[in-house]
């Protein structure tokens, strides 16, 4: 659509603002009835309309200057185009460095160290890029950039990968670790088989890998660690020793921990005489049975294994010879 020959570019800005303000003011007044708001809209209508009317009278290059018929044609000079300075991707890395430093103030100093290191690299790379854009002299930072980015990727992998593996479920952590390991192996194989890959491509790959690892680590750190079960050695069952000899127990009292896997090493030293160990939840054998061991004819040994009852005093005896008895103190 052709632009109006009457309106100047500035007036094409102010006059639509005035019209839009008038429309909004009418809608606002119809729905709210707030005269103060309506007055503000009308004030904006007046200011924008006045500004649009004033600037419409100032024409720019509307009349060409007079040139004599016999004047020489204007001279033309070749102008070398100069590209505008550009920062490339350094603005993104600068933002990432600031984010890491701020995150270090929240979750710990290590992300801040990464941010400071990335900030120094960003400043150096950005200055080199701006200098090359303004002077035309390219500064090759690849001999320094590739080792630095390699160390950056390794450090990111060591720290942020651990954050990721601790945040996801156990099965997923195994899958992620295998995927990352296979990806690193595939990338190393590709670089070995394709030595003609440019240094800039390598820098880009390393930079993207490090940034992805950082982003994943930050998300994982925000999610927090999953509950980790500590698997240690299985605790041995509590044990007690009891010997039956001359139709009597060598102990009248046994001590056991409560609600625990326990062993009672029982030795029957009476030749040809059967004994056992039974525990009752009361003062005698009429109470409920807690544990009843198998009857064993002597001489013999066995190990009774069971779960101890709650704290309290319990009665134990030989069921064959009830006079062989005692008390189990469960603490």
The pLDDT tens digits of the residues spanning 105-118 come to 766 676 777 778 77
Pairing of strands 261-268, 238-244: parallel
| 297 and 219 both lie in a single domain | no
Domain count, the chain: 3
User: Is residue 119, in this structure, part of any structural domain at all?
Assistant: no
User: Is residue 103, in this structure, part of any structural domain at all?
Assistant: no
CA 166 to chain centre: 9
| 143 and 200 both lie in a single domain | yes
* Last-in-domain residue among 165, 199, 223: 223
Cβ atoms of 183 and 189 within 8 Å: the answer is no
Cβ atoms of 34 and 28 within 8 Å: the answer is yes
Distance CA 326, CA 270 (A): 18
Where the chain has pLDDT below 50, the residues are 1-4, 231-235
| 144 and 204 both lie in a single domain | yes
Q: Tell me the DSSP string of 124-157.
A: HHHHHHHHHHHH------HHHHHHHHHHHHHHHH
User: Is residue 44, in this structure, part of any structural domain at all?
Assistant: yes
Count of Cβ atoms closer than 10 Å to residue 230 Cβ: 4
CA 91 to chain centre: 24
- Determine the angle formed by the axes of helices 199-223 and 90-107, rounding to 10 degrees: 30
| 214 and 288 both lie in a single domain | no
| 291 and 206 both lie in a single domain | no
| 147 and 207 both lie in a single domain | yes
Identify the pLDDT of residue 190. Answer: 75
* Last-in-domain residue among 199, 223, 247: 223
pTM above 0.75, yes or no: no
Distance CA 117, CA 163 (A): 20
User: Is residue 198, in this structure, part of any structural domain at all?
Assistant: yes
Q: Could you give the 3-state DSSP secondary structure of residue 29?
A: helix
pLDDT digits (tens, 9 = 90+) for 266-314: 999 888 888 899 899 888 888 888 888 888 888 888 888 888 888 889 9
Distance CA 238, CA 244 (A): 20
Distance CA 178, CA 29 (A): 65
* Last-in-domain residue among 223, 251, 268: 223
Structural domain of 162: 128-223
Distance CA 329, CA 64 (A): 115
């Amino acid at each position: 659509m052709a632009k109006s020959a009457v309106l100047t570019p500035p007036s094409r800005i102010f006059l639509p603002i005035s019209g839009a303000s008038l429309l909004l003011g009418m809608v606002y007044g119809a729905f709210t009835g707030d005269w103060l708001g309506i007055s503000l809209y009308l004030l904006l209508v007046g200011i924008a309309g006045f500004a649009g009317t004033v600037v419409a009278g100032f024409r720019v290059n509307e009349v060409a200057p007079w040139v004599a018929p016999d004047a020489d044609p204007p001279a033309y000079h070749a102008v070398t185009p100069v590209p505008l300075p550009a920062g490339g991707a350094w603005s993104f890395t600068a933002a990432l460095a600031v984010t890491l430093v701020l995150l270090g103030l929240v979750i710990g100093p290590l992300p801040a160290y990464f941010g400071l290191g990335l900030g120094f690299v960003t400043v150096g790379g950005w200055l080199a890029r701006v200098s090359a854009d303004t002077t035309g002299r390219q500064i090759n930072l690849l001999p320094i950039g590739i080792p630095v980015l390699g160390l950056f990727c390794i450090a990111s992998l060591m720290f942020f990968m651990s954050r990721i593996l601790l945040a996801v479920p156990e099965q997923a952590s195994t899958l992620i670790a295998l995927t990352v390991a296979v990806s690193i192996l595939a990338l190393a194989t590709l670089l070995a088989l394709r030595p003609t890959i440019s240094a800039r491509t390598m820098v880009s790959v390393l930079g993207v890998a490090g940034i992805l690892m950082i982003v994943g680590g930050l998300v994982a750190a925000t999610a927090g660690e999953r509950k980790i079960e500590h698997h240690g050695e299985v605790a041995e069952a509590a044990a007690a020793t009891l010997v039956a000899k001359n139709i009597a127990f060598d102990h009248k009292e046994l001590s056991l921990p409560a609600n625990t896997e326990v062993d009672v090493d029982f030795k029957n030293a009476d030749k040809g005489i059967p004994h056992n160990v039974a525990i009752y939840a009361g003062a005698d054998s009429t109470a409920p049975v807690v544990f009843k061991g198998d009857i064993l004819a002597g001489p013999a040994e066995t190990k009774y294994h069971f779960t101890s009852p709650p704290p309290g005093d319990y009665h134990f005896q030989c069921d064959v010879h009830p006079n062989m008895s005692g008390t189990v103190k469960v603490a």
